[in-house]
Amino acid sequence: MSNRGLRRYLRWRVALPLISCTFLGIFLLHRGFGKELLSPYLPGDIMGNRPRVELRQGKIRGQESQAGYPQVLESFLGIPYGQDTGGQNRFKAPRHINSSSQKFDASTFGARCPAPPDNQALQSEDCLNLNIWRPKERGDGEKKMPVLVYFHGGAFNSGYGAARQISNMVAWSTEPMIGLSFNYRVGAFGFLPSGWSAKEGILNVGLRDQVLLLEWVRENIGAFGGDPDQVYV
């Protein structure tokens, strides 16, 4: 190789990693990574007359909607069921959400877990959140409702809970019921197949997210009027 060719080769060896990092940074910023999400926890009693549920993790404020359905539904969207899985918690087993007395605005869907591009949904590593729908009129208020938990598909590589309208099933059910969907880590963030993952004991953390979700349901669904002994997946 000539001196000129060697110099050209060395320049590209230096330039290519810089170009790759630049494009990766642009992609991550475009997909929402690195952006600080606005906190849904709000100070003061500014939620108005909306359906509310008090949990160990805070006071949840939902919303009402009929949207062409045969009955009015109450929804609670984007409720965290686990801690942020980014940063030091990346690739690790999920952790229970902390106790809090704050008020949580559950009127919009939370971020979905990182997956192949989808321009219709915000992505973030802080994605362990769930959505609940229940009828406003529940007949005998003392009777607990059965609970349907939707596990989204996607071959563990894509998908998110809000992709299916579980509210349809709740609205058209002949008997009062609760519908629930949720996000869990997919792709490399949830199912990284490597010797390092096996050595660290953190294979299939996306499945552990699912277990954590069911533990959250067992602990909290009764506050929404659901029966923890009648949970169907």
Q: What is the pLDDT of residue 1?
A: 54
Alpha-carbon span 146 to 180, nearest angstrom: 11
- Are both 58 and 146 inside the same structural domain? yes
For the sheet containing 103-105, what is the strand order?
41-42, 103-105, 58-61, 52-55
Binned average pLDDT, 10 residues per bin, the chain of 233 residues: 52 43 38 42 52 96 90 96 96 95 95 82 93 89 91 93 93 95 96 89 94 98 97 95
For residue 119, the model assigns a pLDDT of 63
pLDDT at 71: 93
78: left (phi over 0), alpha (psi -120 to 50) or beta: left
Same domain, 20 and 51: no
| Residue 9 sits in the same domain as residue 72 | no
Total number of domains in the chain: 2
For residue 10, the enclosing domain spans 1-30
pLDDT of residue 2: 57
Measuring CA to CA, how many Å separate 200 from each of 77, 196, 205?
A: 34, 6, 12
Q: Give pTM, 2 decimals.
A: 0.78
One domain for residues 13 and 122: no
Residues 20 and 121 in one domain: no
